[in-house]
Amino acid sequence: MTSDSGLTSQDSDDARDIQEVLNELRQMQQTPRLVTSPEELEALEREIRQRTDRLGSLLLDCCILVNTE
């Protein structure tokens, strides 16, 4: 279903999901974290990687949808 603005509900969902991940990454960036062990560093890296992977996936999905329309 397309609204008057030409955006579908999927577009809105995608934009909301992208903004949510960006907000999570921004929050991580603004909140200092003391890492005192290699395990803690690995956990933090994993958390960052999960969010950036999710963001990349969402952005790629949007690009694919735009190019196929």
Q: Which of 15-19, 36-40, 48-52, 63-67 has the lowest mean pLDDT?
A: 63-67
Is 60 within the bounds of a domain?
Answer: yes
Identify the pLDDT of residue 4: 47
Q: 2: helix, coil or strand? A: strand
Residue 1: pLDDT band by 50, 70, 90 thresholds? very low
Q: What is the pLDDT of residues 26-51, one digit of tens each?
A: 999 999 999 999 999 999 999 999 99
Domain membership flag for residue 2 = no
Residue 25: band (very low, low, confident or very high) from pLDDT cuts 50, 70, 90: very high
Cα–chain-centroid distance for residue 61? 12
Which region holds residue 11: left if phi is over 0, alpha if psi is between -120 and 50, else beta? alpha
- Total domains in the chain come to 1
Q: Considering the domain boundaries, does residue 59 fall inside one?
A: yes
Domain span holding position 25: 9-68
Residue 46 lies in a domain: yes
Would residue 24 count as lying in a domain?
yes
Angle at the Cα of 47 from the Cα atoms of 63 and 39, rounded to 5 degrees? 150
The region, left, alpha or beta by phi > 0 then psi within -120 to 50, assigned to residue 6 is left
